[in-house]
Amino acid sequence: MKYKLIAMDMDGTLLNSQKQVTEYTKDVLRRASEKGIKLVICTGRIFTSAKSYARIIGTKAPIIASNGAYIREKDRNEVIYEKYIKKETLLDIIKVTREWGFYPHIYTTDTIYSEKLIHSSLNYSKWNETVPEDERINIQIVDSLEDVVEKEGENFLKVVVMALEDEVEKLQELKKYIRDNMDVSIFSSYMNNFEIMDKEVSKGNALKRLAEFFDIDREAIVCFGDNENDKTMFEFAGFPIAMGNAEEEIKEIAAYVTDTNDNDGVAKAIEELILRE
């Protein structure tokens, strides 16, 4: 099979535990790109953050961000797909998460709103200190998320809810409550978080749209992932590859299990299974 597109999750997959892409991985990805293979970042992260890593690995392909809610060309302001959370649904999510004692963060394509500098807003403010100005994420700490939603309307791609270590069990209970009582799409990338999008949003649906955009058969698509939010991508791609550090449910539906993200698992699989064809 001649593979035409490789879709890669970022955290726990393409990136090592230091949130870096190794020189070996960059070299292998460069060689794959030279063979005409499209390299697509498919992440839960905000577009601005994903774009920064796309620059690092040298890909010019579109980026799938916010768990599939947003697909955009890397170097042009051309949006291929976007799906926003309905206003009333978003207001309900904010209300419920606050009642459970958590601080929700709401995301547009380039901005994070929160009522407190904590969790992802704090992490990204530290990130902003390490990247060029045009790759920084706009972080807005506000008095009322409801007021922001009323002003901005249906302009939000996802909600992120995170917990401290001693709150993880409670967070998982909230996740189940929202999944059982709201018509939304909800995924976790780690036990200490979950992300909520419109019910039609998933990495798998986004990858399907991108395959149609490029007229690429699903059997010609390879994907890499490690966690729950990668499952739909694995169900669509012709050759799903799980990381050695992946959750068991992901390994079980993979066609192949590679090395861990800290041992260049993505690069090793591409070199052994694709570049040597």
List phi, psi (to 5°) of 27.
-65, -45
178 and 93 Cβ atoms separated by less than 8 Å: yes
Q: Please give the pLDDT value at position 98.
A: 96
Say if residue 60 is in the same domain as residue 124.
Answer: no
| Cα–Cα separations (whole angstroms), residue 13 to 48, 73, 83, 148 | 19, 22, 25, 34
Q: Domain count of the chain?
A: 2
pLDDT of 77 above 90 = no
Say if residue 127 is in the same domain as residue 171.
Answer: yes
Say if residue 91 is in the same domain as residue 130.
Answer: yes
31 and 55 Cβ atoms separated by less than 8 Å: no
Which of 169, 198, 227 is at the close of a domain? 198
pLDDT of 277 above 80 = no
CATH number at residue 254: 3.40.50.1000
Say if residue 185 is in the same domain as residue 258.
Answer: no
- The answer to whether the pTM exceeds 0.85 is yes
Say if residue 131 is in the same domain as residue 178.
Answer: yes
Q: Please give the pLDDT value at position 75.
A: 85
Say if residue 43 is in the same domain as residue 180.
Answer: no
What average pLDDT does the segment 197-224 reach? 98
pLDDT band for position 239 (50/70/90)?
Answer: very high
Say if residue 99 is in the same domain as residue 167.
Answer: yes
Say if residue 99 is in the same domain as residue 184.
Answer: yes
Q: Please give the pLDDT value at position 26.
A: 98
Mean residue pLDDT across the chain:
97
pLDDT in tens, 112-151: 999 999 999 999 999 999 999 989 999 999 999 999 999 9
pLDDT of 191 above 80 = yes
pLDDT in tens, 1-20: 799 999 999 999 999 999 99
What average pLDDT does the segment 48-70 reach? 96
Say if residue 180 is in the same domain as residue 95.
Answer: yes
pLDDT of 238 above 80 = yes
Say if residue 161 is in the same domain as residue 218.
Answer: no
Say if residue 35 is in the same domain as residue 113.
Answer: no
pLDDT in tens, 246-257: 999 999 999 999
DSSP-derived 3-state class of residue 186: strand
- Tokens standing for 163? 């917990």
What average pLDDT does the segment 241-264 reach? 98
Residues 267 and 265: their CA atoms lie apart, in Å, by 6
Which of 171, 198, 225 is at the close of a domain? 198
Which of 198, 230, 245 is at the close of a domain? 198
Domain containing 44 equals 5-82+202-273
Torsion from C-alpha of 91, 96, 98, 100, nearest 10 degrees: -170
Q: How big is the chain, counted in residues?
A: 277
